[in-house]
Every structure is written in C-alpha cells, then in structure tokens.
C-alpha cells in the first residue's frame, strides 16, 4: 500500500517536471501545446474514492498553474476531467467489472479500451482549457481546431508512455 | 436537517466538484487581468533558476548564428557612427530607413541588454523571462525591444529576473501608428498566429497600403516614439468606420534570445503630470 502512495507521489512530481521542462520548452508552432501531465489522473487506481480524485486533480492543476503564470485555467480543466472519469470508467467497464489488483493501463485492458478511455478524458480537459483561455464565442472554430489537434498529440504521447514507461 | 445532511452526503461528489471548480474559476477571473504577484513570484523564482541553467546549454548550440547576427549589427552600427557622429539608439535591419531620436532625448532613455531564459509562443498569454532584474535597476512598465523591433514590456521583477508580457499576450495593448501619416490606433493580439498582431481604430478615410511600416506612437510613458513593430499585411473595413489591419511582426518570437530593456528616466515625471491633470 505504501509503495502505491510513494509511486504516485514520485509520478506526480516527475510528470509536472516533464511537462514544465520539456513540453513547455518545445515550441513547434502557434497551435501545438500538448499537456501530458493529465496522464496522472488517467493512471489513478480504479478503487480511488471520488473526493480523493477531485482533490488530487485540484492540486495537480494548481501546481501546473503556479508554473505557467496564469492561475486557474489548468485547475479548472483538471478538476472537470477528474469529475468525468468515474462516468467514463463506468461506461467502458467490461462485463464483469474491473478486476481488483488491475490498473487502467494497456497491459490489463488492451489498446482499444485505453485509447477510448484516455482520448475522451483528454478531449474534455483540452476543450475546457482552451475555451477558458480564449473565452470568445467568435473564436469557436479556432478553439475546436486547437482542441482536436492537441488532443490527438497528447493522446498519442499518453499511449506511447504505455509502451515505454508504464508497461506493467 | 437530517434530510439535508443526507442529501449532502449522497451527492458529495457533485458538490465537491462544483466547489473546487468554482475556486478555480474565481482564481481565473480574479487574477488574470491584474498583477499576479504571489503566483508569479513563486513560479519565476523556481522556473527561472532552472531555465537559466538550461539556457546556458542552449546558448552554446546557437553561438555561431548569434555571433553572425551580432557581427552584422556591429558593422551596421559602426557605419551609422561614421555617418552621423552622434549617438545611435537602435539598429534597424537593412530594410529600414534609419531613425534616431532627437538629441534632447539622448539622456532620457537608457538601454540595458538582457538574455532570455524562458519564453513561449503557443499560449494565449505568452511571457518571456530575462536574466536581469531589480539588481540591474529594472522595474515594471519598462519597454523591451530586440534588434528588429518591439518585444513587449516588463510586468514583474524579482532580484535577478524579470517577466515580460510580449506582444503575443491577450492582455497586451500598445499604442501604434502608421509611419508617415501619423494616424494612431491600438495594437493587440487575437491569439491566432505568433507572426501577426492586429491594429484597430484607424479610420477608413486614411490611405493605407500593404507593406506600410507600423511604429509605436510614443503617446505612453512606456514605449518611446518610432520603435518599429511590423508591416501591414492586409486590411479590411471592420465595425464602424474603422479598419481591421493585420500586421506582420518584425520580431520573430520563435528564435529571439537577446533583448534590450529601455529605461525611461522621465517616466515617473510624465505619469505624475498626467495624473494631476486627470484629477483636476
């Protein structure tokens, strides 16, 4: 049990640093800004209770905001994403439910399941984040384009992590 | 009372979600347009010192390119010096006609070179961090330029670092005019492309052409007059009798890494005077 806590704390810190030091420094074009730190919420165990998930998401978003200078945006998006997670897990649950001792990873439930699950969560996060940032109805097409483009990139990176980092 | 309590326990997930979400929304709307001191201080002190180290590595990789650029700037400056034998305050690239501020302005502005340790172009609110701060007499509201044109203004400083709000920031507003005919408008950014900004409030009866140069108007205490910003790339009639003008920036925010901070010794005096007038 303690190992799981410890592993998650390390993962929290590492993901934030990877996001800030690597992905925030890759400036490929005006529209490309993938956020892979949401992987932390995606990988939380199935058994986690609702309040813990929301508060962890709040802290995760807040730590991102502290580094990215404009407070609130990432907090709001990450909390919304955490709110949606139980419903999406329920929708995609296998017939006999999730096995105890398993985690939401490609290794346990296959690539198709994981891709469906993560792309919806990431889409929710990115759509809300970019809408808040731009905050103008006339920019709606631009918001959608940015959301779709970055959702695809982030999901690709998140799935890639399943084959290289979180294999088991 | 019991029923209410039971209702809260039953729906705690939704209620907690709404609670946390409203905290974040309050954060967004409270802090964004204003000076966000405590957030900025924490983030700048941590990230800037790490980024400072990363930049040292990056500097070596682009050393040659930077050297060539500095060299050509040197040659250009030396030529200017021969031609005018007066102080040249800014070097423009070849496609500019050279401008100097008049002599009375010579003592008014002071230029401080600085190096960028962190920058972004892919956000809606883009900032640059530089490696000079209060210990180098930098303060908020100082203009920042590169050798090509306006970059932005300082919004926050710590001992050794300063944060610049670039032109590519949705909160940025700069007074700008069309070089030659002196009609002035307001320059802001629509958040779409890091190469283009928008100029508004130029009336439609003004004769403008694609390729016209846009410079700062000098009507604020922050930016001196006639700093180059960009050139007109396209325009159309917008709401009312005003143009919406698309401007291609001279500064390439993707590759920028050395800037100059302009210190205006008379800024305080000008602000004071303007404040007194507006109270009367």
The percent of residues in chain B predicted with pLDDT above 70, rounded, is 84
A72 vs B28, B54, B118: nearest CB: B28
Domains, chain B, in order of start with CATH, read 49-264 (2.40.10.340)
- End-to-end CA distance of chain A: give it in Å, rounded: 17
**B123 contacts chain A (CB < 8 A):** yes
Binned at pLDDT 50, 70 and 90, residue B68 comes out as confident
Chain A residues whose beta carbon lies within 8 Å of the beta carbon of residue B122 = 27-33
Indicate yes or no: CB of A21 within 8 angstroms of CB of B32: no
pLDDT score at B47: 77
In chain B, positions 147-166, which contact chain A (CB-CB < 8 Å)?
A: 163
Q: Between vectors from CA B264 to CA B261 and to CA B265, what angle results, nearest 5°?
A: 130
Cα separation of B146 and B169, whole Å?
A: 17
- Please identify which residue in the block is written with the tokens 């005019």: B177
Chain A residues whose beta carbon lies within 8 Å of the beta carbon of residue B162 = none
Indicate yes or no: CB of B123 within 8 angstroms of CB of A133: yes
- What integer is the mean pLDDT of A4-13? 91
pLDDT score at A68: 82
Cβ-based neighbours of A137, under 8 Å, separated by 6 or more:
none
Binned at pLDDT 50, 70 and 90, residue A25 comes out as confident
Residue B265: half-sphere exposure toward Cβ, Cα within 13 Å: 8
The four Cα atoms B217, B139, B33, A28 give a dihedral, to 10 degrees, of 80
Helix (H) or strand (E) holding A97: none
pLDDT at B91 > cutoff 50: no
Which range among A24-38, A111-125, B188-202 has the greatest average pLDDT? A111-125
Cα separation of A72 and A65, whole Å?
A: 6
B24 vs A25, A69, A75: nearest CB: A75
Cα separation of B129 and B113, whole Å?
A: 13
| CA A28 to the chain's CA centroid | 21
pLDDT score at B12: 86
pLDDT score at B88: 43
Indicate yes or no: CB of A54 within 8 angstroms of CB of B20: yes
pLDDT score at B32: 66
Per-residue pLDDT tens over the stretch A48-101: 988 999 999 999 999 998 888 778 889 999 999 999 999 999 999 888 888 888
Average pLDDT, chain B: 80
pLDDT at B162 > cutoff 50: yes
**A16 contacts chain B (CB < 8 A):** no
- Which CATH class, in words, describes the domain spanning A2-164? mainly alpha
Per-residue pLDDT tens over the stretch B97-107: 444 444 344 45
Mutation for testing the B interface, residue in A23, A69, A73, A154 having most B CBs under 10 Å: A69
Binned at pLDDT 50, 70 and 90, residue B72 comes out as confident
Cβ-based neighbours of B250, under 8 Å, separated by 6 or more:
B93, B148, B149, B228, B229, B230, B231
Per-residue pLDDT tens over the stretch A132-166: 888 777 788 989 999 999 999 999 999 999 998 88
Chain A residues whose beta carbon lies within 8 Å of the beta carbon of residue B16 = 50-51, 54-55
- What integer is the mean pLDDT of B107-111? 71
Backbone angles phi, psi at B190, to 5 degrees: -90, 0
Q: Which two tokens stand for residue A5?
A: 């806590």
- Please identify which residue in the block is written with the tokens 């690597």: A22
Per-residue pLDDT tens over the stretch B182-213: 888 999 898 888 899 999 888 888 888 888 99
pTM beyond 0.80? no
pLDDT at B34 > cutoff 50: no
pLDDT at B58 > cutoff 70: yes
What ipTM was predicted for this assembly? 0.82
A79 vs B20, B120, B163: nearest CB: B20
Cβ-based neighbours of B131, under 8 Å, separated by 6 or more:
B48, B52, B55, B114, B115, B116, B117, B160, B161
Lowest pLDDT segment from B62-71, B148-157, B168-177:
B62-71
Q: Which two tokens stand for residue B226?
A: 């006639």
Mutation for testing the B interface, residue in A18, A30, A80, A125 having most B CBs under 10 Å: A30
Cα separation of B209 and B97, whole Å?
A: 18
Helix (H) or strand (E) holding B196: strand B196-203
């Amino acid at each position: 049990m303690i190992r799981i806590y410890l592993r998650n704390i390390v993962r929290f810190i590492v993901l934030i640093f990877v996001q800030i030091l690597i992905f925030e420094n890759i400036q490929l074009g005006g529209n490309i800004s993938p956020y892979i730190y949401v992987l932390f919420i995606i990988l939380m165990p199935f058994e986690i209770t609702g309040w813990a998930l929301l508060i962890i998401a709040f802290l995760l978003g807040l730590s991102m905001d502290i580094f990215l200078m404009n407070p609130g945006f990432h907090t709001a998006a990450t909390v919304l994403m955490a709110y949606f997670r139980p419903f999406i897990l329920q929708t995609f649950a296998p017939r006999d439910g999730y096995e105890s001792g398993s985690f939401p990873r490609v290794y346990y439930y296959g690539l198709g399941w994981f891709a469906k699950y993560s792309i919806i969560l990431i889409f929710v996060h990115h759509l809300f984040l970019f809408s808040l940032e731009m905050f103008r109805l006339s920019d709606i097409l631009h918001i959608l384009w940015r959301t779709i483009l970055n959702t695809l990139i982030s999901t690709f990176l998140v799935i890639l992590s399943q084959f290289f980092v979180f294999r088991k | 009372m019991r029923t209410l309590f039971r209702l809260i326990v039953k729906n705690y997930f939704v209620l907690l979600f709404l609670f946390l979400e409203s905290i974040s929304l309050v954060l967004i709307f409270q802090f964004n347009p204003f000076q966000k001191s405590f957030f900025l201080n924490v983030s700048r002190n941590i990230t800037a010192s790490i980024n400072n180290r990363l930049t040292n590595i990056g500097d070596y990789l682009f050393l040659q390119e930077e050297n060539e650029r500095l060299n050509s700037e040197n040659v250009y400056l030396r030529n200017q010096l021969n031609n005018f034998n007066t102080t040249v305050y800014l070097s423009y690239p070849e496609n500019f006609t050279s401008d100097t501020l008049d002599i009375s302005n010579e003592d008014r502005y002071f230029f401080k070179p600085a190096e960028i340790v962190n920058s972004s172009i892919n956000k809606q609110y883009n900032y640059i961090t530089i490696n000079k701060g209060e210990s180098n007499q930098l303060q908020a509201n100082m203009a920042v330029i590169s050798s090509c044109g306006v970059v932005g203004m300082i919004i926050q400083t710590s001992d050794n670092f300063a944060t610049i709000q670039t032109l590519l920031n949705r909160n940025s507003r700069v007074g700008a005019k069309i070089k030659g005919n002196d009609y002035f408008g307001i320059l802001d950014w629509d958040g779409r492309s890091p190469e283009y900004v928008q100029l508004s409030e130029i009336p439609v009866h003004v004769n403008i052409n694609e390729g016209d140069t846009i410079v700062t108007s000098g009507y604020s205490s922050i930016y001196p007059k006639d700093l180059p910003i960009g050139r007109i790339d396209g325009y159309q009639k917008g709401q009312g009798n005003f143009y919406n003008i698309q401007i291609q920036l001279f500064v390439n925010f993707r590759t920028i890494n050395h800037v100059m901070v302009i210190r205006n010794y008379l800024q305080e005096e000008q602000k004071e005077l303007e404040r007194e007038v507006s109270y009367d």
